[in-house]
Amino acid sequence: MFSYLEHNSPLHRLNPSMKLAGIAVVALGATAAFDPFIPAMLLIALWVIAWQLGRIPLRQMLRWSLPLILLPLPIALFNALYTDLSAYAHPHILWQWGIWTLSLEGLESGLGIGLRVAVFIAASLLFIATTDPTDFALSLVQNLKIPDRFGYGVLVSYRFLPLLKREFDIIRMAHRVRGVGEKSGLRGWIERTRRYAIPLLAAAVRKSERTALAMDAKAFGALPQRTYYRQMHIRRGDVLFVVGLAVYTALVYWAALHFGWAHLQWVPA
């Protein structure tokens, strides 16, 4: 899921810093809401943006939607069962067994928190899937004036997990070639972890040393100004993207407050 998908779409052509700012507006909008309506509407907006502007295939979007539902589900269920019902004058109890109490207010609270988590996951997924790591690092340095060392460090960390995943696949295939079997169950998982951990750690240390040498070879900080082969510019479409998401978030809040669907903080019912 969390890997860059190369397409020629309007979302891919946006300036990464401005794209990050627009998605951050949506994420901040979900942070301030405790009701299900606001994060649900923001989640739908992110889904439509990824599908229409990002040109991500519908089949892949549907496959990504399943983790967006399953990952926040334990958080939503936990909060639904452990909602403090003393804050409500007349809570609507739906089910009760031992220390667990499921109420209508708890379901609303849990659903709201679960949808907020889904918005954060969707926002991260949207940005990573449609943003070239090199363009992102260049945009941070050129447009946001972040120091070169930090920008290059972001690029390295952005690419580090996929490199480790590839290294893990190589180690696993090497073990299969040598005839090392993989047992099932917890005992087999512990044995595989022990076999993979040491070579994977050695590969991570080796790549870190090479990265440090590469940063020294590029002489970051040696000169006050650096030249770049690729220039990142902020265009009208980038500004419209941020403004459009800000306006949409404001309209969602207006509709929620106007119709009484918003709960910015829990108060006794």
Element (H or E) spanning 65, and its range?
Answer: helix 58-70
Q: Which of the four pLDDT bands, split at 50, 70 and 90, describes residue 15?
A: very high
pLDDT(214) > 70: yes
Question: What's the pLDDT tens digit per position in 60-112?
Answer: 888 888 877 888 888 877 777 777 666 666 666 766 676 667 776 777 778 88
Tokens of 194: 């022990």
Q: Which residue has the tokens 């810093």?
A: 17
Show the DSSP H helices in 71-224 as ranges: 73-81, 104-130, 133-142, 148-177, 185-217
Question: What's the pLDDT tens digit per position in 146-202?
Answer: 887 787 777 777 777 777 788 888 888 887 887 776 667 777 778 777 888 888 888
Mean per-residue pLDDT over the chain, rounded: 82
The CB density around residue 32, as the number of other CB atoms within 10 Å, is 13
Q: Which of the four pLDDT bands, split at 50, 70 and 90, describes residue 267?
A: very low
* Between residues 225 and 174, the one the model is more confident about: 174
Q: Which of the four pLDDT bands, split at 50, 70 and 90, describes residue 261?
A: confident
Say what the pTM is: 0.75
Cα dihedral across residues 31, 34, 40, 41: positive or negative: negative
| pLDDT for the residue 137 | 86
Eight-class DSSP state of 35: S
**Rounded average pLDDT over 1-6:** 74
Question: What's the pLDDT tens digit per position in 180-196?
Answer: 766 677 777 787 778 88
Q: Quote the percentage of the chain above a pLDDT of 90.
A: 23
| pLDDT for the residue 197 | 84
Q: Which of the four pLDDT bands, split at 50, 70 and 90, describes residue 24?
A: very high
